[in-house]
Structure 1
């Protein structure tokens, strides 16, 4: 829906922009900072913050504003609405305990993945990543799997309009090469990425499908780069990953 559509409620958009601004580090901001981050005038930002305070999503401490615990419910509402999220927590815990490596579940949000679950192993990898963290989809195995599952027209639009930046020397940034890689992922049924986001991390991922076969998420296993190659990861982790993905699908989606 376009912002100039009759159905677009500008006040709601501004309110969410203020909430997102307050969620930026360091977690407390002045009125001027909220206005600048959210792209609002000071007067509009003041009204939005006043409303959020009344609704108990925000509090003021002198010049500074910060979110209250009630705001956490906004994110949890999304997670709780995912039909597979509750069972996926148990399934990924079992997988992590079985293989001894970090396991994650993510969803695709346009050009980025968003972590919905992340269970680190004892050898913690990227400890700064948590539920809600975002990463460019093209540089991680989770993203490759979900991008490969896009309808052809959506995949073509993504490749034509996304700016791919080098993060490490291994990062694929050429749209033609990335398209070939996504075709390979689609054909193989899994994604493998080594050192494209972090030189120290590799990962293998498979899709999670609903009862109709549509890819709704992806799960992955991550390990320390250099400890294994794609063939080894496939041999060790692909069967447990696919079993877990199938268990999530079976337990979470009704065929009725």
Structure 2
């Protein structure tokens, strides 16, 4: 953790680390558990927890601490600040109803994607993924669309710092091959990933752009691996995906956001 300075307040950083620690399963933690997860001493964690209890962000029950509903406002503040989020909810509902497959919207946070919307289909039983869930960006179609849009220096840094270890037999493990794949994504305007994170899941994604044409998010359709090829996915889903991304962009622009 960085040192205290005019540009960094350690108390705030420690407070957020405790909030994040309390948000991890099973959702209730002792003082020692919260301190260890946050990387803080028990004394520091105790003071922060007492403050969070006083502010109604968490509650104490015996030896255990857990977050209260007020903490949800921290995440909603980010979502509500996204100018396209409200429009994306209806657009993704329409897309899911049209194609009857799981749909999602995500943003890039360093080396991971973060779901800001996800509407699962019944045929894919992955209920553990929802708003706020994170996945390695290079292993999913949403992440590849977002990584492909990075400026050259940021992409180079990502390729240098990322551990391309195999997760499934289909995982791309060579940074040079992955760089070429990102070039292909940029050229074709979509990303297709089949079984690189989960051998049972494949997905296709396209970028969501703002009024200046910058990529601000990505939207995807995911289905069961082996039920569709890349070419078939393009024919079935790509037009609807691109229309959804354009609808989000158009509605956001029309709102003046």
Q: TM-score range by the shorter chain?
A: over 0.9
CA contact (8 A) 2:2 2:10 kept: no
Q: TM-score, normalised by structure 1?
A: 0.97
Residue 55 of structure 1 corresponds to which residue in structure 2? 55
Q: Displacement of 1:32 after TM fit?
A: 0.6
Q: TM-score, normalised by structure 2?
A: 0.97
What SS does the corresponding residue of 1:126 show, helix, strand or coil?
coil
CA distance in 1, matches of 2:87, 2:25: 31
Pick closer, same or farther for the CA change 1:3–1:141 going to 2, 3 Å.
farther
CA distance in 2, matches of 1:107, 1:14: 25
Residue 211 of structure 1 corresponds to which residue in structure 2? 211
Residue 221 of structure 1 corresponds to which residue in structure 2? 221
Residue 195 of structure 2 corresponds to which residue in structure 1? 195
What SS does the corresponding residue of 2:155 show, helix, strand or coil?
helix
CA contact (8 A) 1:92 1:103 kept: yes
Number of aligned residues: 256
For the pair 1:17 / 2:17, whether they are aligned, the reply is yes
Residue 33 of structure 2 corresponds to which residue in structure 1? 33
Q: Displacement of 1:80 after TM fit?
A: 0.7
Q: Displacement of 1:253 after TM fit?
A: 2.8
Larger CA deviation: 137-146 vs 3-12: 3-12
For the pair 1:121 / 2:121, whether they are aligned, the reply is yes
**Coordinate RMSD, CA, aligned:** 1.4
CA contact (8 A) 2:107 2:217 kept: yes
CA contact (8 A) 1:83 1:253 kept: no
Residue 138 of structure 1 corresponds to which residue in structure 2? 138
**Structure 2 unaligned blocks of 5 or more:** none
Residue 91 of structure 1 corresponds to which residue in structure 2? 91
Residue 163 of structure 1 corresponds to which residue in structure 2? 163
